[in-house]
């Protein structure tokens, strides 16, 4: 567990949770989810001392859950926000190895399942998100992160660099978070920005599949990866809906909160709340953009699949039309040869020396006549290929 104290225009690292509320600032404690059982008692005591109330058991369960969807809940003292971030490349690799081990354990085609996992673009695999939990008090922020989460360390390094390099105290303060809610929103904004960055990779991989699908001579066979991509896009849409609902509930709650929850100074309190609401609305707009993009990609994938089968159906129709035209051309010729192939004693022209050329001319004229009729009616047509 790591503890930071933001006071005035500076920050400092603490070895343990303080017993008193900072005069002008707040305390941030962040830890990995696996560390919670060891530090839960200390965090509960700090919540009671610094925040004014301990967390409910239900909220501890929500914060400790790895599979909890994005959600917002509040009490009269604190807020609980759970937000799902994208999986990192390392987590994607770990998920693939874990899934391969499970398949190998059940003897269900280890090698073939690995090929399927390799065929899945990493961008889509990152949608297997991870839950990050925040308990937000007026002067205390508790955040629980999955193992190896880089977001808190990134912000710690950023704040430390700003405090070390800045000379003007006002500029330092402008870059430091003004409240626990402000810091939580900044981290959530970083998570949403990763979703925005993911859109380009998703579009690139899906466009490659689409280009392969709509080729005239396409032999596309990787339907498993395409179906998995569509499933992941649907999952991304569901994730964004949950995130948007959580942020919207938070914005509504911020709008209804009394100003005394922020600062004794009414003007400062109003400015802080306006800044929080503006940042929260901005996060909500970014979530909407990701969700709309996921919907467009999903609709585009469905449209390309339909186009693929339409092209295949058109190719089949062209082949059948050609075969039908060839059959129709030779049908009268088969009639002529069948007629003169009958085993009767007397047939016309059967003993004539020039009969063969007469019948050959008639058959040629019949074939040419059928070809001309088919060309005029466009049953068959010349192609540039």
Is residue 353 left, alpha or beta, with left meaning phi > 0 and alpha meaning psi from -120 to 50? Answer: alpha
Do 93 and 80 share a structural domain? no
Identify whether residues 334 and 347 lie together within a single domain: yes
- Do 64 and 166 have their domain in common? yes
Asked whether residue 12 falls in the same domain as residue 116, the answer is no
Contact, 10 vs 124, CB < 8 A?
Answer: no
Residues 359 and 326 in one domain: yes
Kindly state the tokens that stand for 109: 């085609």
- Tell me how far apart the alpha carbons of residues 55 and 29 are, in angstroms, rounded to a whole number: 14
Residues 13 and 61 in one domain: yes
Q: Rounded to 5 degrees, what angle do the CA atoms 84, 90, 93 make?
A: 100
pLDDT of residue 179: 86
CA angle 285, 147, 183 (to 5 degrees): 40
Domain encompassing residue 4: 1-84+130-176
Report how far residue 263's alpha carbon sits from residue 129's, in angstroms, rounded to the nearest whole number.
36
Residues 322 and 358 in one domain: yes
* pLDDT digits (tens), the chain, 385 positions: 899 888 877 788 888 888 888 778 899 999 999 899 999 999 999 999 888 888 999 999 999 998 899 999 988 889 999 999 888 777 777 666 666 666 565 555 444 444 444 456 677 888 888 899 999 998 899 999 988 888 888 888 877 776 665 444 444 445 778 889 889 999 999 889 888 888 888 888 878 777 777 776 666 667 777 777 888 888 888 888 988 999 888 888 877 776 554 545 666 667 777 788 888 888 889 888 888 888 888 888 778 778 777 777 877 887 888 888 888 888 888 888 887 777 777 777 777 777 788 888 888 888 888 888 888 877 776 654 4
Contact 42, 62 (CB under 8 A): no
Q: Are residues 119 and 1 in the same domain?
A: no
Same domain, 138 and 58: yes
Is 358 a member of any domain? Answer: yes
The answer to whether residue 292 sits within a structural domain is no
Tell whether pTM > 0.75: no
Q: With residue 167 as reference, give the H or E element that holds it.
A: none
**Residues in a beta bridge with 293:** none
Residue 139 and residue 120 share a domain: no
pLDDT at 94: 67
Into how many domains does the chain fold?
3
Q: For position 358, what pLDDT does the model report?
A: 82
Q: What is the pLDDT of residue 30?
A: 92
CATH number for the domain harbouring residue 354: 1.20.58
User: In this predicted structure, what is the pLDDT of residue 145?
Assistant: 92
Residues 12 and 104 in one domain: no
- CB atoms under 10 Å from CB of 172, counted, come to 19
Residue 33 sits in the same domain as residue 134: yes
Domain membership of residue 364 (yes or no) is yes
């Amino acid at each position: 567990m790591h503890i930071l104290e933001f006071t005035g225009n500076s920050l400092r690292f603490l070895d343990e949770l303080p017993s008193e509320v900072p005069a002008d600032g707040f305390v941030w404690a962040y830890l990995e989810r696996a560390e919670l059982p060891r530090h839960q008692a200390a965090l509960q005591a700090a919540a009671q001392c610094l925040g004014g109330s301990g967390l409910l058991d239900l909220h501890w369960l929500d914060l400790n859950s790895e599979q909890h969807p994005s959600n917002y809940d509040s009490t009269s003292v604190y807020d609980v926000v759970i937000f799902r971030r994208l999986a990192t490349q390392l987590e994607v690799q770990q998920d693939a190895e874990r899934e391969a081990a499970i398949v190998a354990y059940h003897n269900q085609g280890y090698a073939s399942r690995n090929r399927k996992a390799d065929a899945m673009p990493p961008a889509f695999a990152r949608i297997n998100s991870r839950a990050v939990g925040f308990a937000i008090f007026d002067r205390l922020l508790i955040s629980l992160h999955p193992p190896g989460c880089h977001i808190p360390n990134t912000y710690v390094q950023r704040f430390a660099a700003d405090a070390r390099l800045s000379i003007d105290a006002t500029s330092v303060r402008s870059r430091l978070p003004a409240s626990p809610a402000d810091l939580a929103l900044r981290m959530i904004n970083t998570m949403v920005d990763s979703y925005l960055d993911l859109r380009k990779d998703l579009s690139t991989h899906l466009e490659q599949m689409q280009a392969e699908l709509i080729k005239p001579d396409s032999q596309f066979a990787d339907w498993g990866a395409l179906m998995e991509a569509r499933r992941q896009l649907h999952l991304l849409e569901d994730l964004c809906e949950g995130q948007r609902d959580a942020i919207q509930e938070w914005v509504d709650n911020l709008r209804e909160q009394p100003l005394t929850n922020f600062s004794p100074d009414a003007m400062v309190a109003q400015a802080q709340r306006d800044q929080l609401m503006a940042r929260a609305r901005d996060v909500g707009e970014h979530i909407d953009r990701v969700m709309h993009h996921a919907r467009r990609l999903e609709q585009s994938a469905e449209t390309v699949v339909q186009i693929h089968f339409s092209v295949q159906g058109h190719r089949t129709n062209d082949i059948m039309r050609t075969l039908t035209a060839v059959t129709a051309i030779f049908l009268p010729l088969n009639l002529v040869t069948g007629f003169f192939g009958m085993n009767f004693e007397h047939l016309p022209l059967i003993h004539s020396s020039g009969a063969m050329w007469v019948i050959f001319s008639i058959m040629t004229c019949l074939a040419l006549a059928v070809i001309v009729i088919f060309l005029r009616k466009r049953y068959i047509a010349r192609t540039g290929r």
